[in-house]
Chains A and B, each alone.
Chain A
Amino acid sequence: MPLMIEITGLNKAFGATRVLHDVNLSVEAGEVVVIIGASGSGKSTLIRCINGLERFGSGTILVDGLSLAPIDMGRKKTSAQLKNIRREVGMVFQQFNLFAHKTVLQNVMLAPMIVRNWDWDKAETTARRLLERVGLADHIKKYPSQLSGGQQQRVAIARSLAMEPRVMLFDEPTSALDPEMVGEVLEVMRGLAREGMTMVIVTHEMGFAREAADRVIYIDHGRILEIGTPAEIFDNPKQERTKAFLSRVLKH
């Protein structure tokens, strides 16, 4: 399988605090990688580096052959290279971040029209198809504030998919949801995984990680401590810290 994401020697600090230490990670096309770790371990920061929402100090990130280096994230302007990468990388946020002043349909249609220059018909057809797929065909005229959290997150997934990304990043997509809505969002994500979408997911849903991930990564204090199949990580962790973390989170 060709590599979709290749992260080499990634370092990042917030002031004097180093949040990522020399991170190396490769993700193959079609692979589902789940990142786990305690809060503050740097896992969200790591995936936010992949589409340039966080600047990093040193290292390189290759996404589908496009390379992103610290120089591409100058203070002044979003570089062309970063824009190219962002077109290919979809992102789903913990807080959904739907555009509050736009309807569900408009949320999904906007970026393809202004970033990919699709005409109205193509954007609308695609948006309707994707909203149908995430089970929200009946809600396209509503505003985000009229939807439940689970519905909003499904719209956010459809909005990202409308850009036809090669990779999808999920930053704790179910952490802000009421428990009864977690399932509907995970179900959409499982569907994507089955279809072969390359996905990098930060989550606390260990059940989902075990069942949907090809590989699980444990991050601790900004370092990747352990990488393995779900069975290797969950049933037979090698590192003491991984064991301690898992026993903390799996108790609940």
Chain B
Amino acid sequence: MLADLTSWSPQLFAGLYLTVGMTFGGMAIALVLGLLLALGRINPSRWVSAPVAVFVELIRGSPLLLQLFYIYYVLPGFGVRLTPIAAGLLGLGINYGAYLSEVFRAGIAAVGSGQREAAESLGMSGGQTMYYIVLPQAWRIVIPPIGNYFISLFKDTALVSTISIAELMFQGQLIASDTFQYMRIYSAVFVIYVAISIPASLGVRWLERYFSRSGQGR
């Protein structure tokens, strides 16, 4: 059995490499998009906030798997042809961006209105108030939930195997269909996922404690 595992390991680790890459890439897109969507949603103009709200709800209201298929299989019909990796990153980034926008929005709302009023009364513009006063404090509030979404994204990257990205799950399936060793191969894949996600969630829990202890914000 060990011999089997060793012989599979190059393939599995190639898959893991892609899984981790998709996680970080997707998260990077999600963080930028999430912040933009959150700022759009709290924009005082309805012409900005309403379309953003609709977009966020549409994304949150439909399965990630469907969104991936839409980007990979439907968009080419409109002339947008993406590589599997690009489609996967985009799908994960958009889906998680929609969820993170709610996290950012809650974080921004949790910074007291007194902080905003103090900044504005000193003559700061809305943008300066957001950048220097609100976001740095919101950041401390949103880091733990973002950590949890990070771990959740790590597991959700398994879905991109369906658009032929050869990440960990996909590699597992390949080996399994070659060897019919379902029990062993899927157990190995399972072990690899939890060997990463469990320590990561312990880390997030530590972050949570760290930020609640040193939190100076109200």
Contact = CB atoms under 8 A, between A and B. Distances in A.
Do the two chains belong together in a single complex?
Answer: yes
Nearest to B133: A99
B202 to A, nearest CB: 27
Interface string A104-136: 000000110011100000000000000000000
Interface in A37-84: 51, 53, 75-78, 83
A76 B217 CA distance: 27
B120 A86 contact: yes
A111 B122 contact: yes
Contacts of A87: 123
Interface string B115-129: 101111111111010
Contact of B140 (A101, A115, A144): A101
Given A78-B126, A145-B216, A53 B121 contact: yes
A97 B111 CA distance: 11
A77 B123 contact: no
A221 B123 CA distance: 30
Given A99-B133, A100-B137, A144-B216, A77 B126 contact: yes
A160 B216 CA distance: 21
A160 B122 contact: yes
A115 B124 CA distance: 6
Contact of A101 (B123, B125, B126, B137): B137
A95 B114 contact: yes
A86 B45 contact: no
Interface residues of A, number: 31
Contacts of B126: 77-78
A159 interface: yes
Select the residue from A83, A101, A143 with max chain B CB neighbours within 10 A: A101
B120 A78 contact: yes
User: What is the predominant secondary structure among interface residues of chain B facing chain A?
Assistant: helix
Nearest to A94: B114
A59 B118 CA distance: 25
Determine the interface band of chain B, counting residues with CB < 8 A from chain A: 20 to 34
A91 interface: yes
A90 B123 CA distance: 9
Interface string A187-225: 000000000000000000000000000000000000000
B118 A93 contact: yes
B121 A86 contact: yes
A93 B120 contact: no
A89 interface: yes
Contact of B115 (A51, A76, A100, A156): A100
A111 B123 contact: yes
A70 to B, nearest CB: 16
Interface in B76-109: none
B203 interface: no
Contacts of A114: 124, 128, 132
Nearest to B46: A75
A101 B217 contact: yes
Interface string A147-160: 00000000010011
A115 B132 CA distance: 12
Contacts of A51: 121
Contact of B118 (A78, A97, A101): A97
B44 interface: yes
Nearest to A114: B128
A86 B119 CA distance: 10
Nearest to A95: B114
Interface of A: 51, 53, 75-78, 83, 86-87, 89-91, 93, 95, 97-101, 110-111, 114-116, 143-145, 156, 159-160, 163
30 contacts: A53-B120, A75-B45, A78-B120, A78-B126, A83-B123, A87-B123, A89-B121, A90-B121, A90-B122, A91-B118, A93-B117, A93-B118, A95-B114, A97-B112, A99-B133, A100-B137, A100-B216, A101-B137, A101-B140, A110-B122, A110-B132, A111-B119, A111-B122, A114-B124, A115-B122, A115-B124, A144-B216, A156-B118, A163-B122, A163-B123
Q: Which 9 A-B residue pairings sit nearest by Cβ, starting from the closest? A: A97-B118, A111-B122, A97-B114, A91-B121, A87-B123, A115-B123, A86-B123, A100-B217, A100-B216
Given A95-B114, A100-B137, 13 more contacts: A53-B121, A75-B44, A83-B125, A86-B121, A93-B114, A93-B118, A98-B118, A99-B115, A99-B119, A101-B136, A101-B140, A159-B122, A163-B122
